[in-house]
Amino acid sequence: MKAIRVETNGGPEVLTLRSIDLPSEPGPGQVLVRVVVAGVNFMDVGQRRGTSPRVVPFTPGVEGSGVVEAVGEGVTHLEVKDRVAFVAFTSQPGAYSEYTVVDASRVIPLPDDFTFEQGAAFPLQGITAQYLINEFRQPTRGDFVLVHAAAGGVGALLVQWARHLGATVIGTVSSRAKAQEARALGAHHVILYTEHDFAAETKELTGGHGADLVLDGVGGTTCMGNLDAVAVRGSIVYFGASSGLPKPIDVFPLLVQRSISVSGASLAQLRTSEELHRRANEVIAGLREGWLELTVGGVFPLAQSEQAHRAIESRTSTGKLLLAVAEQSSR
């Protein structure tokens, strides 16, 4: 079968299309999936670079969609020919390949009215958005929510979800094109953080109040500004570090003087299949009801995974990037 392999850590050029052996038959609690579409994520970038270490060589990709080809012992909720989406937070299925073995607990039945593109676009980022919105400080009407990278994969969903709950949404973006995208998604205010001090702008837009909730997947370049932008008794939640890790800070005075909470979020903490499916079903419901929409920023052939990684690293892309693994990827 064809698969993308990382044989040494480095830049996007280390992503190489190879012909490798088909996976072995699925073991107990596993399924073999013929991959149709794979999702591209910053997690893949970190593993390729070596900043999120994996043993080389490996096949990247933590999410995708496809068709079940074989079912391992003990799997009762999935059958051969089922259309599915899958996502793994701790194990690594290697979605950049024509076939992959996945833990059945991390497989989500794909509704008949969903395309394979939707199936590969919603799991990691959609469930991340659901988790961030509900787990720490759920926005309510009248709250101010600051979303960094508001036109990105997770950011686009957070903007829509927070607005759906009645919050006033402030998004930060890196370009005017992304500003238009964030407004189209429903952001009430958009700040170009490359041209303006987002903390000062947030304070001005909120009449000095600040953001009740800051959702940050950027990390390094935004962490200090977050401390100025957040409201008294506000919450900052980090869920990624696309610009590098946040700087070490002495948070104790902030916690005591302003009652700020600072949290970190990772879907690796989803321990059960039941929780995964509950959160996924909320995302699916939002998409069906129409208040939540997926933004696909580009679909690349599997052989062009290098270009897909360059696009996501350059921060010029918007929405979700996908890899078309099979020739027919719509259904």
329 pLDDT more than 60: no
The dihedral of CA 266, 270, 276, 281: what is its sign?
negative
| pLDDT tens readout for residues 215-251 | 999 888 898 999 999 999 999 999 987 777 777 777 7
Comparing 52 with 286, the larger pLDDT belongs to 286
| pLDDT tens readout for residues 66-89 | 999 999 999 999 999 999 999 986
Q: What is the largest CA-CA distance in the chain?
A: 61
The dihedral of CA 52, 54, 58, 62: what is its sign?
negative
**328 band by pLDDT with thresholds 50, 70 and 90:** low
pLDDT of residue 331: 45
pTM attached to this predicted model: 0.91
Give the least confident one: 223-237, 248-262, 278-292: 248-262
Q: Is 49 exposed, middle or buried (0-12, 13-18, 19+ CB in 10 A)?
A: middle
266 pLDDT more than 90: no
Alpha helices in 188-272 (DSSP H): 198-205, 223-229, 252-258
Which of the 8 DSSP states describes residue 302? Answer: G
Q: How far apart are CA 167 and CA 2, in angstroms?
A: 46
Looking at every residue in the chain, the average pLDDT score rounds to 92
pLDDT of residue 319: 78
Q: Which of 79, 45, 80, 83 is nearest to 62 (CA)?
A: 45
pLDDT of residue 198: 98
Domains of the chain: 2-122+294-324 (3.90.180.10), 126-267 (3.40.50.720)
The dihedral of CA 123, 280, 239, 140: what is its sign?
positive
pLDDT of residue 2: 97
Q: Which of 294, 253, 316, 306 is nearest to 119 (CA)?
A: 294
Instruction: Please give the average per-residue pLDDT across 104-109, as a whole number.
Output: 95
3-state secondary structure 103-127: EHHHEEECCCCCCHHHHHHCHHHHH
